[in-house]
Amino acid sequence: MNTRTALFFASILLFSLPVLLQAEALDSLPYYIQWDSVPGAGGYTVEVRAPEGETIFTKQFEPTAKETELDLPAGKYQFRIVTLNKLLKADNATNWVAFEILAETAPIIVKLTPTALTTGKPVTLALTADRLTLSAKAKLLSPSGKEIPLSIQKTKNDTFTLTAPALDERGQYSFVLANSANLTTQKNNIIAVGYPDFSISSISLKSSLLTIKGKNFSKEMVLYLSSSPLSASRKKISLATLKDTLIAAQFPTDLPAGVYSVYLANASDLQAKNIYSFTISPPEPTSVAQADPPVASPLLPPAAVVVSPPAEPIEVAIPPAPVAVEPPPVESDTLAAVENTPTAETTPEKIKPAPKPVRHRIALGGGAKTDLTFGGWENVYPGYRLSGYGFSDFYVTNNLRPKKGVAFDFSLGFRADFASMTNDGSGKYVKSSAREISGLICPAFAMSIPWARARLYLAAGCEYVSISARDIFGKETISGASIDPAGGAGMSIELPVTDYFTLGLTNQLLYVQDAKSILKYTASGFLAVMIPVRQ
């Protein structure tokens, strides 16, 4: 081989080396590194070196970073994490930690839950797997062979969340997890998918038409008619209408007398459920009364007609009309005595005193609420949380439910809120829990119509906050509490069910003056009891 040929092959090898290294890196599994945040740190640097001591990877991270992912060729390495100060100078460093990056293989499925799903609901699966690459793909295989792709989201080391739209086919599904086309792991019949249990709200049978209303009726729903109890000679009834919430079927009209039951099943191979029974009575026998034949009467000669002579006229004496005789006059004292004499028919009843009018009303109630916190607290305790509260209000007048038109009123009340928040430590902050209890004085203005009431109130008081947390090393518990002034405003819409019970919805914006101010929005529903106060 001459010098020119040797140089040609050397140049090809030189330009191909990065490509070969990249291909080797893609044929290896990723390696995840996590660390705890250090208070006051200006950032972090992750360094990786070969066992011989040569540094092959260095990357600087922001103060909020807590993890990284290494994509290196398969082999053995060492890493350390350097903490930087505010000037981004090395302040402290961990010891070198040995680790190994494995070559890419087929993934190992450790656990997949749940193993039972229902149709019509979005799919969410929890997967624990080893040797899963960043480009891994997952899918479900239905009983008919249809492929359902699954989205993969990493939660923690070796733990993933898989999601997919709702399934519409029941049966045994297989699960496929692949790092590449040639590196695939499949678990057959690992997930059972069935129809949800149906429920029935009403059944009616009119003119041989059976109508069933409910929910979760499947597309394979079958209806049977059988003598009670269910017998082998059950008869399948053709369905005229089949929807998720409605079934209609035409019954035969020539059924013999007997007791019958209607059975319903989500599919022909599933257990049927007795949903309706009825009885057909035998027809009553018709009796016809036999009449005696008519008997011929003997012919008689016509009776002799007797003619009486005219009678003498009869005189009738008419009595004279009665003459009204006026009673003698009665003295006034005597008449008064007679009128005031009680009898069995005119004895007066006891008169009950009229009830005292209602002057005021007191409302006592409570409800459930959901809170959304701002002002920096949403980073530590993100999202919504459910909690509760109680209240009492004294209304100045009794104009809460006018018969017509609009009425106005004022009230003075007290409201107490309580909530609990937790952070599991898997995110940006350490594991901690917080408890909040607030007491507020709430003057309010109310506007009422016959079927609804709106209240606008201001609130002033204080809030007690108690926090306990683990330190950054997870060894000691740090706790603290404070009582801080608070103020806010809110509005509620109330629906009086009766004069004594009220349902309503309310929202509130509360500001708490803490070392780190809290702004909290609350939406809630409540039930109140109205207690009348009479004068």
pLDDT digits (tens, 9 = 90+) for 218-239: 888 998 888 766 556 678 888 8
Q: For residue 217, count other CB atoms closer than 10 A to its CB.
A: 22
358-534: CATH class: mainly beta
Q: Which of 501, 507, 494 is nearest to 531 (CA)?
A: 501
pLDDT greater at residue 311 or residue 487: 487
Helix then strand count (H, E) for the chain reads 3, 31
Q: Which residues pair with 227 in a beta bridge?
A: 260
Alpha carbon 375 to chain centroid, angstroms: 29
320 has pLDDT over 60 = no
199-280: CATH class: mainly beta
Q: What pLDDT was estimated at residue 314?
A: 44
Q: What pLDDT was estimated at residue 291?
A: 47
Q: Which residues pair with 162 in a beta bridge?
A: 125, 152
Whose tokens are 């009794």? That residue is: 398
DSSP-derived secondary structure letter, 103: B
> How many C-alpha atoms does 102 have within 13 Å on its Cβ side?
10
Superfamily, domain 20-101: Immunoglobulins (2.60.40.10)
Enumerate residues 6+ apart whose C-beta is below 8 A from 533.
358, 359, 360, 361, 362
Sheet with 184-194, side-by-side order of all strands: 108-113, 123-130, 159-164, 147-156, 137-141, 171-178, 184-194, 116-118
**CATH number of this structure's domain 108-194:** 2.60.40.10
317 has pLDDT over 50 = no
- The rounded distance, in Å, linking the Cα atoms of 236 and 230 is 12
The torsion angle over the Cα atoms of residues 417, 418, 422 and 428, rounded to 10 degrees, is 30
SS3 at position 382:
coil
Q: Which of 429, 413, 401 is nearest to 496 (CA)?
A: 401
- The rounded distance, in Å, linking the Cα atoms of 427 and 203 is 52
- The rounded distance, in Å, linking the Cα atoms of 391 and 438 is 12
Domain assignments of the chain as residue spans, ordered by start? 20-101, 108-194, 199-280, 358-534
The torsion angle over the Cα atoms of residues 142, 144, 146 and 147, rounded to 10 degrees, is 40
Q: What pLDDT was estimated at residue 283?
A: 74
- Identity of residue 268: S
Q: Decide if 60 contacts 44 (C-beta within 8 A).
A: yes
Whose tokens are 């960043």? That residue is: 134
pLDDT greater at residue 472 or residue 447: 447
pLDDT greater at residue 11 or residue 360: 360
The average pLDDT across 74-101 equals 89
Buried b (16+ CB within 10 A) or exposed e, 423-448: beeeeeebebebebebebebebebeb
pLDDT-derived band at 398 (thresholds 50, 70, 90) equals confident
Beta strands in 114-238 (DSSP E): 116-118, 123-130, 137-141, 147-156, 159-164, 171-178, 184-194, 199-206, 209-215, 222-227, 235-237
403 has pLDDT over 50 = yes
- Identity of residue 471: D
The average pLDDT across 483-510 equals 92
DSSP H helical segments within 349-388, as ranges? 377-380
- Identity of residue 113: T
Q: What pLDDT was estimated at residue 239?
A: 86
487 has pLDDT over 70 = yes
Domains 199-280 and 358-534 share a fold: no
330 has pLDDT over 60 = no
Q: Decide if 58 contacts 46 (C-beta within 8 A).
A: yes
pLDDT-derived band at 469 (thresholds 50, 70, 90) equals confident
Q: What pLDDT was estimated at residue 350?
A: 58
The average pLDDT across 456-474 equals 82
